[in-house]
Amino acid sequence: MNNSKPNAIGFWEALRFWLKLGFISFGGPAGQISIMHQELVERRRWISEKRFLHALNYCMVLPGPEAQQLATYIGWLMHRSWGGIVAGGLFVLPSLLILIALSWMYIAFGHVAWVAGIFYGIKPAVTAIVLQAAHRIGSRALKNNVLWGIAAASFVAIFALNVPFPFIVLMAAVIGYVGGRVMPDHFQIGSGHGQSKSSYGAALIDDDTPPPEHARFRWLNLLRVAVIGTALWVLPMGFLASTYGWEHTFTQMAWFFTKAALMTFGGAYAVLPYVYQGAVGQYAWLTPTQMIDGLALGETTPGPLIMVVAFVGFVGGYVQAVFGPEHQFMAGAMAATLVTWFTFLPSFLFILAGAPLVEATHNDLKFTAPLTAITAAVVGVIVNLALFFAYHVLWPHGFSGGFDWFSALIAACAAVALFKFKIGVIRVIVVAALAGLIYALIAAR
């Protein structure tokens, strides 16, 4: 353990890390949060475990991709608004560029055997990554039997009873609020074993580090963020409506994905049915098969899983040839970019507007206890997500369609590599992709 505090981190040094994170953030929100914890809490010690979890708790209750919002929050805390914008933007930008390229390959050249093989190998590895993330977060967040009970109840509620995620979050917050008053020792972040200082050493933003000047809550700053955020939505929406008309594909995409962004409580899977219903059933921007393939692309590329909306936008703009048949790629790329803008804009605004208030509460139990309970509940939800992945990977055609033994072998090897040998996520994904590629090439002969 190193008790010396790390040196101050400059803006450009942080920018290089956020850019790297944008390219390695595989594994969905659980895997991405795990990567950030390893890099920022354990290895670099830019932020303490307690402050990391406090920020994560806030991001968990917001609509939108919590991992991207967490990056935005930490970037903002370290380097003001531009730090947050850069951190959150670079979390998304590599994924957008990669998805535009992959979407073009997919729609222009159809299914390619070697690409399908790579996806086939990556999916079991992603399942193991999510399981590892559930274990890592759970081992730090579930400090006592009360929090374990909340996590178990959350899992049963979403797995067996199909309780909506927002209701699970609400009930956990109520339990945390009451529990923080009745049994406060059970709802203190970092209480018990495994506190950040004893585990990883002093952090640049430590448990007792006061919020920097820019992180203090001021009504004027809140008003400024609200005005700028409103303008960033109204101006492009007004331009689309006045230039192309309200019924145009671009305008309808902007409006539809604004609504979708405000419904993403519980991560991408909570809102995918809504996206599927609108994009496939109402607007016919793509077919059901294309939607499923797009989800596979989203699962196996870096960045938030909700980036599948970029695939939806690209295919819709490309197929409908919005700019004419000779400019289909440009139409698809423009649609993907628009969709990404309107999907992620609310996430930045929630952080830049609300984070100062959250920073003022990180030592106030009446605020932190509900968030601690919410984190415990989210552990149960992540376990459910891991089982969801496992089912679709190991029984790709349902229980009646047979068990995929080779996928099970890849998943088991990935789990051993992650849990026992502590091999990095990226290496595991690369090896799994190669295994899937080799298997597909052999099967094609």
Q: Sorting pLDDT into bands at 50, 70 and 90, what band is 220? A: very high
Decide if 292 contacts 81 (C-beta within 8 A). no
What token pair was written down for 38?
């390893």
pLDDT at 412: 95
**pLDDT of 268-298, one tens digit each?**
655 666 787 788 888 989 887 788 778 767 7
pLDDT at 112 over 80: no
Q: Check residue 306 and give its pLDDT.
A: 86
Structural domain spans, the chain: 1-205+217-445
Among 364, 353, 355, smallest CA distance to 78 is for 355
- Per-residue confidence (pLDDT) for residue 195, from 0 to 100: 43
Asked whether the predicted pLDDT for residue 109 surpasses 50, the reply is: yes
pLDDT at 226 over 90: yes
For residues 245 and 397, the model is more confident at 245
The pTM is what? 0.71
Which pLDDT does position 441 carry in this prediction?
86
* Type of residue found at 298: G
pLDDT (mean) for 312-321:
92
Name the nearest CA neighbour of 335 among 315, 359, 307, 365: 315
pLDDT at 50: 84
- Collect all residues with Cβ–Cβ distance below 8 Å to 74 and sequence separation of at least 6: 36, 40, 46, 47, 52, 55, 87
Say how far apart CA 387 and CA 228 lie, in whole Å: 41
Predicted confidence at residue 379, as pLDDT, reads 82
Highest-scoring range by mean pLDDT, 211-220, 326-335, 367-376: 326-335
Region 323-340: mean pLDDT is 93
Question: Mean per-residue pLDDT for 119-147?
Answer: 81
- The predicted pLDDT at position 317 comes to 93
317 near 324, Cβ under 8 Å?
no
The reported pLDDT for the residue numbered 251 is 96
Q: Is the confidence at residue 174, as pLDDT, over 80? A: yes
When the pLDDT of each residue in the chain is averaged and rounded to a whole number, the result is 84
**How confident is the model over 430-443, as a mean pLDDT?**
89
pLDDT tens sequence across 24-82: 887 667 678 888 988 899 888 899 888 888 888 788 777 788 889 999 999 999 999 99
pLDDT at 110: 54
Which residue, 119, 135, 111, is CA-closest to 396?
119
For the residues 133-157, what does the mean pLDDT come to? Answer: 85
pLDDT at 266: 54
Q: What is the pLDDT of residue 245?
A: 94
